[in-house]
Amino acid sequence: MPEPHPVFADPGFRSRHGVLAGGYGHRDDPDDPSAVLAMPLVLHIPKAEPPARSALLEAVAVATVALCLDPRVGAGEDGGPGEWQDAFLAWNDARIRKVSRRARGAQWRAVQEIDGVTVDRGGAQARALVPGPVGDLDPRIARLQIGGTDLPHDDPVDAPAGVPVLWVNAALGMTVGKAAAQVGHASMLLAGALDVDSARAWAATGFRCAVRDADPGRWSELAVGVEEGAGVAVRDAGFTEVEPGSMTVIATVS
């Protein structure tokens, strides 16, 4: 008899999934702005050969949800607490803020030494890092640029059947950094919305997903689907780029 996929044999997965299923934002922001918690997302954007925008956003989405369900953020394979558990749970209990930064060359190599998860999708690479206070960043993260770099919209082929799709609201004109944070939100919200067996099955695929732009017509259809329970929507707090309450990404499972 073949061995089960490791994620199905992981006794701590149910507990970690339960954290995502339980939602977030249960605690008010601290009075000290520097104590606000955020998950850094590092986008590998080389100057000479930058990745396709959609592939990079897929890498970000996968890296985010992979970190959120990693044994190190909760009950591990041995049932004991993971080394990233306290930091992750503190962040998940607050607003799920994410801050995207770009890296290339030596900067990208340096961030591989910081706790997190790196994902490569078709040569596009992103790393989700363990959350922490925005005022106490590792210098290797703090020196990375937040804005100033964007990628052109591409036109990838239709998403494969059966693969979750994270639809980005094209009308909002989000930069790649803003869109990265939003698809990161979407992937973890989708995982939490799935029942634990479906989440396990998704994890067994390596959290395979597709990111696609939705034009106004498709977006309207997707928004109706959200109201009918056929999708999970990200509504942004409006700190940057978009108006508060804007629906930025809708995740669907065909």
> Rg of the chain's alpha carbons, rounded to an integer?
17
pLDDT confidence bin for 78, thresholds 50/70/90: low
List the domain range (segments joined by +) for residue 33: 13-252
Residue 122 lies in a domain: yes
What is the total count of domains within the chain?
Answer: 1
Quick check: 151 and 45 in contact, CB under 8 A? yes
Residue 1 lies in a domain: no
Q: Is 81 helix (H, G, I), strand (E, B) or coil?
A: strand
Instruction: With a cut of 50, say whether residue 2 has pLDDT above it.
Output: no
CA gap 35, 31 in Å, rounded? 8
Token pair, residue 157, equals 């082929």
Average pLDDT over residues 98-111: 96
Tokens 């607003």 identify what position? 95
Q: Is 224 helix (H, G, I), strand (E, B) or coil?
A: helix
CA gap 34, 136 in Å, rounded? 7
Instruction: With a cut of 60, say whether residue 71 has pLDDT above it.
Output: yes
Quick check: 222 and 166 in contact, CB under 8 A? no
pLDDT digits 0-9 by tens, 23-34: 988 888 889 999
Burial class of residue 222, CB neighbours in 10 A (0-12, 13-18, 19+):
buried
Share of the chain above pLDDT 70, in %: 94
Q: Measure Cα distances from 112 to 37, 121, 149 in Å.
A: 21, 16, 21
Residue 173 lies in a domain: yes
Closest by CA position to 138, among listed 115, 154, 156, 105: 115
Closest by CA position to 127, among listed 187, 210, 202, 39: 39
Beta bridge partners of 99: 40
Closest by CA position to 214, among listed 223, 205, 206: 223
CA gap 216, 27 in Å, rounded? 35
Residue 1 is predicted with a pLDDT of: 39
pLDDT digits 0-9 by tens, 163-212: 999 999 999 999 999 999 999 999 999 999 999 999 999 999 999 999 99
Share of the chain above pLDDT 90, in %: 79
Sign of torsion over alpha carbons 241, 246, 180, 121 = negative
pLDDT digits 0-9 by tens, 42-51: 999 999 999 9
CA gap 241, 199 in Å, rounded? 31
Query: Which segments of the chain are extended strands (E)?
Result: 37-44, 98-103, 116-121, 124-129, 132-133, 165-169, 210-214, 232-235, 247-252
Residue 3 lies in a domain: no
Beta bridge partners of 251: 166, 232
Residue 21 lies in a domain: yes
The domain spanning residue 184 has which CATH number?
3.40.1490.10
**pTM, to two decimals:** 0.93
Residue 8 lies in a domain: no
Average pLDDT over residues 87-104: 93
Average pLDDT over residues 8-16: 82
